[in-house]
Chains A and B, each alone.
Chain A
Amino acid sequence: QVQLQESGPGLVKPSETLSLTCTVSGGSISSYYWSWIRQPPGKGLEWIGYIYYSGSTNYNPSLKSRVTISVDTSKNQFSLKLSSVTAADTAVYYCGRLVGATTIDYWGQGTLVTVSS
């Protein structure tokens, strides 16, 4: 059974960079796409971007200038960096496995990141 676990700081200061890592267990990171999604408190889901295990990426146009997603196959992990954060970036951040760049079949439990000074 594939499991995903997000990790990283729960509090980030405005204008700084949010950094999260997703660790995949129970399966290999190879041959799949891996995605980040976020959900502001009380609101809907927003796709941030995805990465193929080989390293190719695709980002949400609205966040593209601030987002970097990377993968470390040796550690079975992939990571998110979101720069110049503001309070609007406060959200629960989920990582997920994306099948065929189409459907998210496995999700992490999510981690709340608050942007505040």
Chain B
Amino acid sequence: EIVLTQSPATLSLSPGERATLSCRASQSVSSYLAWYQQKPGQAPRLLIYDASNRATGIPARFSGSGSGTDFTLTISSLEPEDFAVYYCQQRSNWPPGITFGPGTKVDIK
């Protein structure tokens, strides 16, 4: 089973600052990596798919990069609505399945 590790667990930043979130896989997942944002009491929302493609309606301040085992989600300038928990998620071919990382909470400094 592929394990995803996210760092840091918590990121304390101010609006306008740049956020850099990391996701590392225990073995290569190629580019099958997605990022989701979740706010309290809400379902997760897809931000990035296939490591670097923004989902429909996602602002350009969100960007994803990486391949293989190391991935990054960058928020170029934090808006008040961006303070939330962010999860990465991979799909593996063998064993076939999906796993999520433990999440990174971005909170207001």
Q: Report the bound CA distance from A43 to B98 in whole Å.
A: 17
Give the size range of B's interface with the partner: 20 to 34
CB distance from A116 to the nearest CB of B (A): 21
Given contacts A61-B95, A61-B97, contact A45 B49 (CB under 8 A): no
How far does the Cβ of B58 sit from chain A's closest Cβ, in whole Å?
11
CA distance A107 to B47 in the complex (A): 13
Task: Compute the total of residue contacts between A and B using a CB distance below 8 Å.
Answer: 57
Interface set of B (CB-CB < 8 Å, partner A):
1, 32, 34, 36, 42-46, 49-50, 55, 87, 89, 91, 95-103
- A27 interfacial contact with B, CB 8 Å: no
Q: Are A102 and B44 in contact (CB under 8 A)?
A: no
Interface residues of A in 59-116 (CB under 8 A from B): 60-61, 94, 98-99, 101-105, 107-110
Q: Does A16 have its Cβ within 8 Å of any Cβ on chain B? A: no
The tally of residues in A whose CB lies under 8 Å from a CB in B reads 22
Chain B contacts of A98 at CB under 8 A?
Answer: 98
Contact yes or no, B43 A45, CB < 8 A? no
For residue B89, which residues in chain A have a CB less than 8 angstroms away from its CB?
Answer: 45, 103-104
B43 and A102 contacting across the interface, CB-CB below 8 Å: no
Given known pairs A44-B87, A102-B34, A102-B91, the reply for A50 and B45 (CB within 8 Å) is no
- A35 and B98 contact, CB distance less than 8 A: yes
Q: A102 CA to B43 CA in the complex, in Å?
A: 18
22 of the cross-chain contacts (CB-CB < 8 Å) are A45-B36, A45-B89, A45-B103, A47-B98, A50-B98, A58-B97, A61-B97, A94-B44, A99-B49, A101-B91, A101-B96, A102-B32, A102-B34, A102-B49, A102-B91, A103-B34, A103-B89, A104-B46, A105-B49, A107-B45, A109-B42, A109-B43
